[in-house]
Amino acid sequence: MILSRVFMLLGAVATPLLLVANVAVAGVYRWVDESGQVHFSDQAPPQVRAERLDIPPAEPATGAPEESAAERLQRQKRLVNMLEEERLAREQAKAEQLARAREQALHCERFRNRLSYLERYNRFYDENEDGTRDYLTDEEADAFRARLKQQYRDECGDL
């Protein structure tokens, strides 16, 4: 499918070039008017003696030699490979983005469940190194819940 698009693109580019080449091969005429002014045109004017000039076709503007069919095929293959690599890179980036979105959704779901549990739980404590517990007051517990809710909003959006 990609190869057919490449050939269609090449055909679209080559057709105007061939038309321009045909115009370039058409004759050029030179004539002098009554006032002695020299004119050039691609058509001989009626009732005027015009001289047809044989102008050889110009060399390609790049000055590069015409590429062979093998070189052209090689260039087309490189283009197809490059397009395929870009497509694969886009697909991989999309898959990675989807995986990150799934991980984030799972993280937020767990966080929401934890907040729901903590809303029902009344006693919070900090465990010391010696294993004893320091219980939080109701105000400290409310502040703890508020900090977790804010963290949820920062990481996951609104509740």
- What is the structure's pLDDT at 121? 86
CA triple 142-146-150, angle to 5 deg: 175
Kindly state the tokens that stand for 31: 């004539």
In DSSP terms, 40 is beta-bridged to 30
Q: Which of 5, 47, 51 is nearest to 27 (CA)?
A: 51
Q: Rounded to an integer, what distance in angstroms lies between the CA atom of residue 95 and that of residue 36? A: 75
Could you list the mean pLDDT of each consecutive 10-residue stretch along the chain, which spans 159 residues? 58 57 65 84 83 78 75 93 94 97 96 92 90 92 94 92
- What is the structure's pLDDT at 43? 85
- What is the structure's pLDDT at 147? 95
The model carries a pTM of 0.47
- What is the structure's pLDDT at 36? 84
CA triple 147-110-93, angle to 5 deg: 105
Q: Do residues 152 and 159 lie in contact, with contact meaning Cβ atoms separated by under 8 Å?
A: yes
- What is the structure's pLDDT at 31? 80
In DSSP terms, 32 is beta-bridged to 38
Phi, psi torsion values for 12, nearest 5 degrees: -65, -35
- What is the structure's pLDDT at 139? 93
